[in-house]
């Protein structure tokens, strides 16, 4: 049996250090994969599986992808839950002595992607870490591509609440301790419902003391937030595990997260995954796409940051009337100020994804064009600031003060980087003329040498009498003098043959060698120097990360407020009156999504729910009459009001609810083997367990998955439990085909009956 080749030994040593990742091993212009990695990649990416001599009797299975287009292939693998380790050549193969040094520069996982080509610019890419303590469960969510981190603590035994919190952020990857495997339902939820990957970490990765040291090292303003964070040791443990994991996969030593916040879950409306799906907030139920959702209706944002922020506002409605009214004040002001709104539209439309561009700078992956795009966007900030200074609402003034115009950072880039700079950092032509004296001198040497070549060509033609003699350049052979075969007899003795062609010969002279050395030497030094200068620029800009990200967050919020105002004006929405009255009173309300989809006018409806005689509405009517639409309409209007949006109605009073719970539709859950009836009962039980007297509940056709008598008994039991203040007492919309339930209006004071009628008008209903 043969012995492995040195290169294959190197590959296996690196692979041994990254056993759970597919290793992209740089060989020249390709990333190659070998052995089992090659088999997996060829199957997942439809690549041709070949072989390579490796020193053994059998050839090593191999497949590869071009290095200049690797991101698309990595994106496909990461989307399927794989980790990919990027192994680069750590020295120039042309100057390396012996085997080229190689090393893994980063590991790309579903939750640590920063490449913009692999990300959806309209949504965050969260990674989640969960630390289970004695009393609480700490949870930390971070988007490595934008630098934000959020953390909280939940009661240790409430797995349903933990699942709801995860559903709020929809992470792509979840880090849990090995000890949490005992919660089988959690792992199943992560994999099947969130469709995220699970990464198991040892329990000691979540130690609080270790986490504190990492956090103090990582966050520059830790002294301002550290005392508060230390009051939540389990959240800190989750943060520590997350920081370790990011350090282990990214390997750059850069500061990656700039924005850390501890939040309390109670400040947001509770929305479980079922409610998010049934209300079609960001994905419709049929195709899972944006079309036909609340997000689709409200999204008139102008920036990628605004799109992500709008999704957050929809998925995290507020519960504080004070904070809600601050948003509503800003939206109302923008509705009034049509001219300012128009100016904002133009300027905001020119701003790129500052958050993710800045992250590329911090990671050292930003190229010259990325830097120019960042500078271009930063140059728009003074114009936005000028518009904001003319605004008067408290939120607009706060965002204006938060908006750093960053002229100094934009100038750093523009002074250094040439407007025509290439997209690569290893080809030169990056640095602006006049920025660096040494660069200018090297360019003169290089260009002067090239000028000499034209002189030599003319000189040699005259000296030799060969009219078609030419001086050229080849990357392999360098500079040469080319003479066709018909003139070979006239070649001088001082010409040294370098290459024979079919139609002629190529030569070199001592003078040409000297010029070649000067030109190529200047070019090599120039490329190296320009790269060093560009790296220094990236480091200088990266130092402003906190300032840039603060301004990016301000731009995102301004963009969302602009979008909500635009929609409100275009669709004739009104400002809701939001309070803690417990009343939901809507006059001539409309379904925001259905109205946007319809060509004909939407038929409006009134709504009244309160904590007294109108707490429960039993809704009857024929199939397709609009019962489900009506109930979803109420829920969406409440949600819109609490996110700070105007609403589709003639008038609206919204008493803040702490959560919206829905049980809508009937279908078997084949993934878990649950029947329609079992699934319905589980969801109903979870709603009754989680909801409070301040919640809004939507029940659509409870009890249809079993016999009529049993179904009606179940429906009545649920209604009675919901109506009883001692047990629940929540505001409830209850659609049913069991007309027998309408007699409850006579015996239960908080129940009111409503009937949705269908009327024939010509050939239409």
pLDDT digits (tens, 9 = 90+) for 162-217: 999 999 999 999 999 887 877 778 888 999 889 999 999 999 999 988 888 888 88
- By the 8 A CB rule, do 677 and 706 touch? yes
Of 58-62, 620-624, 633-637, the range with the lowest mean pLDDT is 620-624
Token code pair at residue 33: 């994969």
- By the 8 A CB rule, do 24 and 85 touch? yes
CA 55 to mean position of chain CA atoms: 44
Token code pair at residue 719: 């209604």
Distance from C-alpha of 363 to C-alpha of 541, rounded to nearest angstrom: 11
Tell whether the torsion through CA atoms of 296, 297, 303 and 307 is positive or negative: negative
CA distances from 328 to 335, 646, 655 (A): 10, 7, 15
State residue 181's pLDDT score: 74
Residue-by-residue DSSP string for 452-510: HHHHHHHHHHHHH--TT-EEEEETTTEEEEEEEGGGGGG--TT-EEEEE-SSEEEEE-H
- Please write down the HEC assignment for all residues of 163-219: HHHHHHHCCCEEEEEHHHHHCHHHHHHHHHHCCCEEEEECHHHHCHHHHHHHHHHHC
pLDDT at 17 over 60: yes
Distance from C-alpha of 413 to C-alpha of 406, rounded to nearest angstrom: 11
pLDDT at 475 over 80: no
How many Cα atoms within 13 Å fall on the side-chain side of residue 543? Answer: 8
State residue 42's pLDDT score: 96
Nearest of 471, 643, 489, 543 to residue 254 by alpha carbon: 543
State residue 670's pLDDT score: 38
pLDDT digits (tens, 9 = 90+) for 249-308: 987 665 678 778 899 989 999 999 999 999 999 999 889 899 999 999 999 999 999 999
32, exposed or middle or buried, with CB in 10 Å at 0-12, 13-18, 19+? buried
Nearest of 27, 16, 77 to residue 47 by alpha carbon: 77
pLDDT at 718 over 80: yes
State residue 676's pLDDT score: 75
Which long-range contacts does 487-490 make (Cβ < 8 Å, 24+ apart)? 490/464, 490/465, 490/466
State residue 669's pLDDT score: 45
Mean model confidence pLDDT for the chain: 91
- By the 8 A CB rule, do 407 and 382 touch? yes
State residue 668's pLDDT score: 43
Please name each of the domains of the chain with its CATH number: 6-108 (3.40.1170.10), 117-267 (3.30.420.110), 299-406+544-568 (1.10.1420.10), 437-534 (1.10.1420.10), 574-755 (3.40.50.300)
259 - beta bridge partners?
A: 148
342, exposed or middle or buried, with CB in 10 Å at 0-12, 13-18, 19+? exposed
State residue 303's pLDDT score: 98
- Please write down the HEC assignment for all residues of 334-383: HHHCHHHHHHHHHHHCCCCCHHHHHHHHHHCCCCHHHHHHHHHHHCCHHH
State residue 665's pLDDT score: 65
pLDDT at 76 over 70: yes
Nearest of 596, 594, 601, 691 to residue 633 by alpha carbon: 594
pLDDT digits (tens, 9 = 90+) for 399-456: 999 999 999 999 999 999 999 999 888 888 999 999 999 999 888 877 776 677 788 8
* Tokens 């040094």 sit on residue: 101
Pairing state between β 616-620 and 270-271:
unpaired
pLDDT digits (tens, 9 = 90+) for 216-226: 888 766 554 55
Give Dmax over CA atoms of the chain in angstroms.
Answer: 119
Average pLDDT rounded to a whole number, residues 576-602:
95
Of 374-388, 533-547, 604-618, 657-671, the range with the lowest mean pLDDT is 657-671
Average pLDDT rounded to a whole number, residues 471-484:
87
261 - beta bridge partners?
A: 150
Q: Which position has the higher pLDDT, 92 or 297?
A: 297
pLDDT at 1 over 60: no
H-helix segments, 51-158: 70-79
Token code pair at residue 199: 């990464």
Residue-by-residue DSSP string for 382-422: HHHHHHHTT--SHHHHHHHHH----HHHHHHHHHHB-TT--
Question: CA torsion, points 471, 476, 478, 483, in degrees to nearest 10?
Answer: -30
Distance from C-alpha of 586 to C-alpha of 610, rounded to nearest angstrom: 12
Geometric angle at alpha carbon 586, from 585 and 587, rounded to 5°:
125
Helix and strand numbers (H, E) in the chain are: 26, 26
H-helix segments, 20-96: 35-45, 70-79
pLDDT at 590 over 60: yes
Q: Which residues contact 13 (CB under 8 A, 6 or more apart)?
A: none
Model confidence band, residue 236 (pLDDT cutoffs 50, 70, 90): very high
pLDDT digits (tens, 9 = 90+) for 22-52: 999 999 899 999 999 999 999 999 999 998 8
CA 6 to mean position of chain CA atoms: 41
Task: Please report, rounded to a whole number, the percentage of residues in the chain having pLDDT higher than 90.
Answer: 70
> Model's pTM, two decimal places?
0.88
Residue-by-residue DSSP string for 207-274: -HHHHHHHHHHH-TTHHHHHHHHHT-HHHHHHHHHHHHHHHHHH-S------EEEE--GGGB-EE-HH
Q: Which position has the higher pLDDT, 59 or 551?
A: 551
């Amino acid at each position: 049996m043969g012995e492995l080749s040195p290169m294959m030994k190197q590959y296996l040593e690196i692979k041994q250090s990254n056993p759970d990742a597919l290793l992209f091993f740089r060989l020249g212009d390709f990333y190659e994969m070998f052995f089992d990695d090659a088999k997996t990649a060829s199957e997942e990416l439809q690549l041709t599986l070949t072989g390579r001599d490796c020193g053994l009797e059998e050839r090593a299975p191999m497949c590869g992808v071009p290095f200049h287009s690797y991101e698309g292939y990595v994106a496909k693998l990461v989307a399927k839950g794989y980790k990919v380790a990027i192994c680069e050549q750590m020295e120039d193969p042309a100057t390396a002595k012996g085997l080229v040094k190689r090393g893994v520069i980063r590991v790309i996982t579903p939750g640590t992607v920063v490449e913009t080509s692999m990300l959806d610019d309209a949504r965050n890419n969260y990674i989640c870490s969960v630390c289970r303590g004695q009393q609480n469960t700490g949870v930390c969510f971070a988007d490595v591509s934008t630098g934000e981190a959020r953390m909280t603590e939940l009661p240790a035994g409430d797995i349903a609440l933990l699942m709801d919190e995860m559903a709020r952020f929809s992470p792509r990857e979840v880090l849990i301790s090995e000890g949490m495997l005992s919660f089988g339902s959690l792992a199943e939820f992560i994999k099947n419902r969130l469709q995220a990957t699970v990464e198991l970490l040892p329990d000691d990765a979540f130690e609080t003391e270790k986490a504190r040291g990492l956090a103090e090292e990582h966050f520059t303003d830790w002294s301002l937030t550290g005392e508060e964070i230390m009051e939540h040791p389990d959240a800190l443990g989750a943060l520590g595990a997350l920081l370790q994991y990011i350090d282990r996969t990214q390997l750059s030593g850069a500061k990656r997260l700039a924005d850390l916040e501890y939040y309390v879950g109670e400040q947001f409306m509770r929305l479980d995954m079922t409610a998010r799906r049934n209300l079609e907030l960001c994905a419709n139920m049929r195709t899972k796409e944006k079309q036909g959702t609340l997000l689709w209706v409200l999204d008139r944002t102008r920036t990628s940051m605004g799109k992500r922020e709008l999704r957050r506002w929809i998925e995290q409605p507020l519960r504080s009337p004070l904070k809600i009214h601050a948003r509503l004040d800003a939206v109302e002001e923008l509705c009034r100020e049509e001219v300012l709104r128009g100016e904002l539209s133009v300027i905001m439309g020119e701003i790129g994804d500052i958050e993710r561009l800045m992250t590329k700078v911090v990671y050292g992956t930003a190229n010259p064009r990325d830097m120019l795009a960042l500078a271009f966007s930063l140059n728009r900030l003074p114009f936005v600031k000028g518009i904001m200074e003319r605004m008067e609402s408290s939120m607009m003034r706060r965002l204006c003060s938060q908006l750093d115009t960053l002229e100094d950072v934009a100038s750093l880039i523009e002074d250094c980087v040439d407007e025509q700079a290439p997209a690569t950092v290893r080809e030169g032509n990056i640095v602006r003329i006049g920025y660096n004296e040494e660069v200018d001198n090297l360019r003169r040497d290089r260009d002067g040498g090239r000028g000499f070549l034209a002189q030599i060509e003319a000189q040699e033609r005259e000296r030799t009498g060969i009219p078609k003699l030419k001086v050229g350049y080849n990357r392999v052979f360098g500079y040469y003098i080319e003479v066709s075969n018909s003139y070979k007899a006239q070649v001088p003795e001082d010409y040294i043959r370098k290459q024979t062609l079919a139609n002629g010969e190529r030569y070199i002279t001592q003078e040409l060698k000297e010029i070649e050395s000067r030109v190529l030497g200047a070019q090599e030094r120039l490329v190296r120097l320009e790269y060093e200068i560009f790296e220094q620029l990236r480091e200088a800009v990266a130092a402003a990360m906190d300032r840039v990200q603060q301004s990016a967050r301000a731009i995102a919020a301004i963009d969302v407020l602009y979008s909500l105002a635009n929609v409100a004006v275009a669709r004739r929405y009104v400002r809701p009156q939001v309070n803690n009255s417990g009343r939901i009173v809507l006059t001539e309300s409309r379904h925001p999504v259905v109205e946007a989809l319809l060509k004909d006018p939407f038929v409006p409806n009134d709504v009244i729910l309160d904590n007294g005689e109108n707490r429960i509405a039993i809704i009857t009517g024929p199939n397709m009459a609009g019962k489900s639409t009506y109930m979803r309409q109420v829920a969406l209007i409440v949600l819109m009001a609490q996110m700070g949006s105007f609403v589709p109605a003639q008038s609206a009073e919204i008493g803040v609810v702490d959560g919206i719970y829905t049980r809508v539709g009937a279908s078997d859950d084949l993934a878990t083997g649950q029947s329609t009836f079992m699934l319905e009962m589980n969801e109903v039980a979870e709603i009754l367990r989680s909801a409070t007297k301040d919640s809004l509940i939507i029940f659509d056709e409870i009890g249809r998955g079993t016999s009529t008598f049993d179904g009606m008994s179940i429906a009545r039991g649920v209604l009675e439990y919901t109506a009883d203040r001692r047990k629940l007492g929540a505001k409830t919309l209850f659609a049913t085909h069991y007309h027998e339930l309408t007699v409850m209006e006579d015996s239960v004071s908080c129940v009111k009956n409503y009937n949705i009628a269908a009327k024939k008008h010509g050939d239409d209903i």
